[in-house]
Amino acid sequence: MTPIETLKSIETEKQIAELLGQDSKHLVNFNFVDTDNGSVTLYLETINPKYNQMFLYNSLTGINKLDVLHKMLEYVKTQSQIEDTYTIQWSAHSEHGVRTSYFHARSIEEALEKFRYGRDRNKTTIFLVSLNPKA
């Protein structure tokens, strides 16, 4: 990646983080994975420090890092605004109490995939998945 492309990548990551409201209570991680066919998949992860938990916001594939970042920026600006929002109430087996997390998704199945991203299904209990009313 050239220095100009690196600067563009950093700026695009900053725009995405700002649109998602990154602050000390909600962090964003850009997880880039090179695929076998030479493309790049971006797993945009959100981290809630209060729960110390990471969730998948969305994943997209592009021809390179800059391409997939631009695709993710457009997704955050447009698609996430028209998708439904779901509430998932859950608990980790090692902890007490019910936690509540929210997901933008096209379906309940996709919301559950985003919730389960990177976790062992046998270590959490899901109590409720609900579609939130549109405002």
Dump pLDDT digits (tens) for 21-70: 877 667 899 999 999 999 999 999 998 887 888 999 999 999 999 999 99
Please give the average per-residue pLDDT across 92-105, as a whole number: 89
Please give the average per-residue pLDDT across 95-121, as a whole number: 93
pLDDT at 134 over 90: no
Alpha-carbon span 104 to 109, nearest angstrom? 11
Please give the average per-residue pLDDT across 129-135, as a whole number: 89
Q: Which residues contact 106 (CB under 8 A, 6 or more apart)?
A: 83, 84
Site of tokens 């028209």: 82
Contact 66, 102 (CB under 8 A): no
Q: Among 19-28, 80-89, 100-109, 119-128, which stretch is predicted with the lowest mean pLDDT? A: 19-28
Closest among 21, 117, 127, 132 to 83, alpha carbons compared: 132
